[in-house]
Amino acid sequence: MASNIYLVRQRISRLGQRMSAFQINLNPLKEPLGFIKVLQWIASIFSFATCGGFKGKTEILVHCPPPNDNKTVTATFGYPFRLNQASFETPPHVNVCDVTWKDHVLIGDYSSSAQFYVTFAVFVFLYCIAALLLYVGYTNLYRDSRKFPMIDFVVTLVVTFLWLVSTSAWAKALTDIKIATGPSIVQELGPCKKTGVMCYFGSVTSMGSLNVSVIFGFLNMILWGGNAWFVYKETSLHSPSNTSAPHSQGGIPPPAGM
Q: Worst-scoring range by mean pLDDT, 108-112, 142-146, 227-231?
A: 142-146
* Short-list 165, 161, 133, CA closest to 224: 161
| pTM, 2 dp | 0.80
Q: Provide the pLDDT for residue 254.
A: 46
Per-residue pLDDT tens over the stretch 154-188: 999 999 999 999 999 999 999 999 999 999 898 88
The reported pLDDT for the residue numbered 197 is 84
| CB of 143 closer than 8 Å to CB of 234 | yes
Query: pLDDT tier at 9 (50, 70, 90 boundaries)?
Result: low
CB 101 within 8 A of CB 73: yes
Answer for the pair 138, 82: CB distance below 8 angstroms, yes or no: no
Look at residue 217 in the predicted model and tell me its pLDDT.
97
Residues 70-106 as b or e (16 or more Cβ within 10 Å = b)? ebbbbbebebbbbbeebbbebeeeeebbebebeebbb
What average pLDDT does this structure show over 10-32? 70
Judge whether residue 141 has pLDDT over 60: yes
Window from 1-5, 83-87, 108-112, 209-213 with minimum mean pLDDT:
1-5
**C-alpha R_g of the chain:** 28
Structure confidence at residue 6 as a pLDDT band (50, 70, 90): low
Query: Among 76, 71, 63, which Cα is nearest to 93's?
Result: 71
Question: What confidence score (pLDDT) does residue 243 get?
Answer: 43
Rounded to whole angstroms, the Cα distance separating 55 from 210 reads 10
pLDDT in tens, 35-59: 999 999 999 999 999 999 899 999 9
**For residue range 235-249, what is the model confidence (pLDDT) as tens digits?**
877 665 544 444 444
> Which H or E run includes 200?
strand 198-204
Concatenating the DSSP letter of every residue in 52-114 gives: HT-EEEEEEEEE-STTT-EEEEEEEEETT--GGG-BEE-STT---TT--GGG-B-----HHHH
Portion of the chain with pLDDT greater than 90, in percent: 53
Task: Give pLDDT, residue 257.
Answer: 44
Helix (H, G, I), strand (E, B) or coil at 24: coil
Q: CA quadruple 224, 146, 11, 247: dihedral positive or negative?
A: negative
User: What whole-number distance in Å separates Cα of residue 38 and Cα of residue 158?
Assistant: 18
Q: Is 91 left (phi over 0), alpha (psi -120 to 50) or beta?
A: beta
Give the pLDDT of residue 3. 65
4-9 mean pLDDT: 62
87 or 248, which is more confident: 87
Alpha carbon distance 247, 27 (integer Å)? 24
How large is the average pLDDT for residues 218-239?
89
- Tell me what pLDDT residue 246 has: 45
Pick the residue with more confidence: 71 or 213?
Answer: 213
What is the side-by-side strand order in the sheet with 55-63?
Answer: 88-89, 70-78, 55-63, 198-204
Contact 178, 184 (CB under 8 A): no
Higher pLDDT pick, 198 / 211: 211
